C-alpha cells in the first residue's frame, strides 16, 4: 500500500486540536475514477474542539491534482456559473458597502473557473484578473478575453482592491499559504471575500443519510472528497483570524431547499428568489451551459421575501459568505 496516496492530519487545520471523532464516510463521491482506489483509507472527521468537519485522512496533493486536471472536473467550478450574472450582482450588493472609496476597482478572482464572475465584474466596470490552475478553466477564461494565469508568482503585489473566492476556499489544502498570497496582492484598503458551502445551512442539517440514499436530496458532505473542510461561520472566522484577518461581515446566501421541494416549480417567486435558489456549482453538469434568461420583473416585496430574509439572517442559508480585511 502506497502510504503517499493519502495524507493524515494530526492536528485540526483550524484550531490545531487533536481530539477527533470519525464520521461516517459519505456515500456519494466526486471523481471516483481518481479516488476510488483510496476507498477505506480516506474519511471524514469532526474536530471535538472547534467543530470543523474535514476530510481526514485525505487524498494526496497528487491525487487532488490529477482530479482537477482531469476531464471530469467540468462538473465543477469550470462551469463558471456559480457566481455569474445576477448572482454576482447580488454578492456585490453585499460586498460594496465594505469597500473603502480609495480601494482600486481591480478584482482578482482566485479560482476563476470558467470566468463567470469576472465577466460580470468587467461589465460592471472593474479591471479584472483571474487565477485558475485548471486547464479547462484557463481556456474558457481566455476564450472570454479575460486576463487569467495559473501562476501565483505572476500576480502583482498590492494591486487588488478586492480578492474573491467563490466556492474555492473549501478545496484548499493549505489555506494559510493562500491567505499569505492574498495579503501580498491585496491593495492597501483592499478587502477579501470568501463564499463557501455553509455547514450549518438548514439543507445540510436536513440532509440525513436516509434521505440522501432514497431521494434526490444531496448529502451533507457534498462534493466529498474534494471539499477538504466544511466551514460554518465560527470555523471560517477562526481560520481567518489565525492568519491575521478580521471579519467585517458574515452572511448566508441561497435557500438551498429546492431539492427538498421535488414537485415545486423551479421558478416560483421573483428573479431575486430564483437567484438565491440556484443550486451551487456542484450541480452544474455542462460547462458553459447557456443559462435561461431571467426576465421576470421584480414585484413589490411579499411575505415570502421577509421570510427569506429572516431565514438567511438566522444563518441557515445554503452558502456562507464573509468580507474580511487584514487585521
| 15 vs 23, beta carbon nearer Zn ion | 15
Q: Which single residue is written with the C-alpha cell 500576480?
A: 155
| 11 vs 147, beta carbon nearer Zn ion | 11
Select the span of 13-21, 31-39, 196-204, 261-269 touching Zn ion (CB under 5 A).
Answer: 13-21
Q: Is 14 in the site for Zn ion (CB under 5 A)?
A: yes
Q: Is 66 in the site for Zn ion (CB under 5 A)?
A: no
Q: Is 17 in the site for Zn ion (CB under 5 A)?
A: yes
Give the residue, chosen from 6, 47, 322, 323, that forms a contact with Zn ion under the rule CB under 5 A.
Answer: 47
Select the span of 35-43, 45-53, 56-64, 256-264 touching Zn ion (CB under 5 A).
Answer: 45-53
Cα torsion 280, 93, 310, 262 to 10°: value is -30
Considering only CA atoms, which of 315, 312, 308 is closest in space to residue 270?
Answer: 308
| 148 vs 240, beta carbon nearer Zn ion | 240
Q: Is 228 in the site for Zn ion (CB under 5 A)?
A: no
Give the residue, chosen from 11, 33, 49, 150, that forms a contact with Zn ion under the rule CB under 5 A.
Answer: 49
Residues paired with residue 320 on neighbouring β-strands, in sequence order: 196, 252
Considering only CA atoms, which of 51, 38, 28 is closest in space to residue 6?
Answer: 38
Q: Is 11 in the site for Zn ion (CB under 5 A)?
A: no
120/123 Cα distance (integer angstroms): 5
Considering only CA atoms, which of 130, 128, 162 is closest in space to residue 325?
Answer: 162
**51, 230 in Cβ contact below 8 A?**
no
Residues at the interface with Zn ion (CB under 5 A): 12, 14-15, 17, 47, 49-50, 52
Amino acid at each position: 500500500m502506497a502510504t503517499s496516496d493519502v495524507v493524515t492530519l494530526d492536528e485540526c487545520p483550524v484550531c490545531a486540536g487533536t481530539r477527533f471523532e470519525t464520521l461516517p464516510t459519505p456515500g456519494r463521491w466526486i471523481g471516483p475514477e481518481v479516488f476510488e482506489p483510496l476507498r477505506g483509507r480516506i474519511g471524514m472527521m469532526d474536530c471535538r474542539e472547534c467543530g470543523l468537519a474535514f476530510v481526514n485522512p485525505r487524498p494526496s496533493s497528487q491525487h487532488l491534482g490529477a482530479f482537477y486536471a482531469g476531464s471530469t472536473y467540468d462538473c465543477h467550478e469550470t462551469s463558471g456559473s456559480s457566481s455569474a450574472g445576477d448572482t454576482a450582482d447580488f454578492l456585490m450588493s453585499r460586498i460594496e458597502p465594505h469597500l473603502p472609496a480609495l480601494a482600486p476597482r481591480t478584482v482578482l478572482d482566485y479560482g476563476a473557473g470558467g470566468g463567470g464572475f469576472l465577466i460580470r465584474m468587467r461589465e460592471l466596470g472593474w479591471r479584472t484578473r483571474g487565477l485558475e490552475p485548471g486547464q479547462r478553466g484557463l481556456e474558457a477564461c481566455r476564450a472570454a478575453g479575460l486576463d487569467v494565469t495559473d501562476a501565483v508568482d505572476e500576480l502583482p503585489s498590492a494591486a487588488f482592491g478586492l480578492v474573491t473566492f467563490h466556492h474555492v476556499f473549501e478545496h484548499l489544502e493549505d489555506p494559510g499559504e493562500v491567505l499569505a498570497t492574498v495579503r501580498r496582492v491585496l491593495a492597501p484598503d483592499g478587502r477579501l471575500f470568501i463564499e463557501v458551502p455553509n455547514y450549518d445551512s438548514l439543507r445540510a442539517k436536513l440532509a440525513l443519510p436516509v434521505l440522501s440514499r432514497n431521494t434526490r436530496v444531496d448529502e451533507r458532505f457534498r462534493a466529498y472528497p474534494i471539499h477538504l473542510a466544511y466551514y460554518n461561520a465560527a470555523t471560517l472566522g477562526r481560520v481567518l483570524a489565525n492568519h491575521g484577518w478580521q471579519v467585517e461581515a458574515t452572511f448566508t446566501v441561497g435557500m438551498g431547499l429546492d431539492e427538498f421541494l421535488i414537485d415545486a416549480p423551479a421558478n416560483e417567486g421573483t428573479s431575486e428568489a430564483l437567484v438565491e435558489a440556484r443550486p451551487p456549482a456542484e450541480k452544474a453538469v455542462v460547462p458553459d451551459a447557456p443559462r435561461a434568461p431571467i426576465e421576470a420583473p421584480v414585484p413589490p416585496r411579499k411575505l415570502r421575501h421577509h421570510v427569506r430574509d429572516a431565514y438567511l439572517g438566522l444563518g441557515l442559508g445554503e452558502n456562507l459568505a464573509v468580507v474580511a480585511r487584514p487585521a
